[in-house]
């Protein structure tokens, strides 16, 4: 039994470490009757003539986000309704690159300092839930995580599934 517990503990620690770089936050209108919302659809988006969505690095990013949100919402018991949804879902993606300079002393007889510049890009996915009748924002969730530009398409889908799943897990707010 002890080896199984050890392996289970190691796997759990590894999963928690992998999730540690994901930051999820949310906010909502406390006066909204969230149990009344059972069905959803997508908020209409403007598209470029090429079919790409503004602000997304590839047309597949939007598809990946929609797929992840659709699965996460259905898993929570919501239904997609094209004809008469209770709320609409919109999504946005932003990117921010930060640079960190590591400076260290090289010693007494050498030039005083040396440094190394590290660049890091973080992507944020924002999900807005909007009342379909009033068009007012009722809930917003966002998740931020490091973006690895060299990731395969499958790995990108996994990352988006992780972020979107974590965001949707906070809806409804109670």
pLDDT tens digits along 164-173: 999 999 999 8
Q: In what order do the strands lie in the sheet with 113-131?
A: 23-28, 137-146, 113-131, 87-105, 39-42, 79-80
pLDDT tens digits along 42-90: 998 775 545 555 556 677 888 999 999 999 999 999 999 999 999 999 9
| Three-state DSSP state, 28 | strand
The whole model's pTM is what? 0.75
CA distances from 124 to 23, 34, 72, 91 (A): 9, 25, 18, 10
Q: Specify the residue for token string 């990108």.
A: 156
Domain spanning 23-168: CATH 3.90.105.10: no
Range scoring the smallest mean pLDDT among 6-10, 59-63, 117-121: 6-10
Enumerate the domain spans of the chain.
23-168
Q: Is residue 10 pLDDT above 60, yes or no?
A: no
């Amino acid at each position: 039994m002890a080896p199984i517990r050890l392996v289970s503990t190691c796997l759990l620690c590894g999963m928690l470490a992998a999730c540690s770089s994901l930051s999820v936050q949310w906010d909502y209108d406390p006066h909204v009757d969230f149990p009344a919302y059972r069905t959803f659809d997508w908020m209409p988006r403007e598209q470029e003539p090429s079919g790409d969505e503004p602000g997304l690095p590839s047309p597949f990013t939007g598809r990946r986000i929609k797929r992840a949100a659709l699965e996460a919402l259905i898993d929570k018991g919501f239904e997609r309704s094209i004809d008469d949804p209770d709320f609409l879902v919109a999504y946005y993606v932003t990117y921010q690159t930060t640079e960190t300079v590591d400076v260290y002393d090289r010693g007494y007889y050498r030039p005083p300092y040396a440094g190394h510049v590290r660049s890091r890009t973080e992507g944020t996915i924002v999900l807005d839930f909007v009342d379909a009748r009033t068009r007012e924002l009722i809930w917003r969730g966002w998740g931020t995580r490091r973006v690895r530009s060299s990731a395969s398409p499958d790995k990108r889908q996994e990352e988006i599934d992780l972020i979107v799943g974590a965001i949707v897990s906070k809806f409804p707010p109670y």
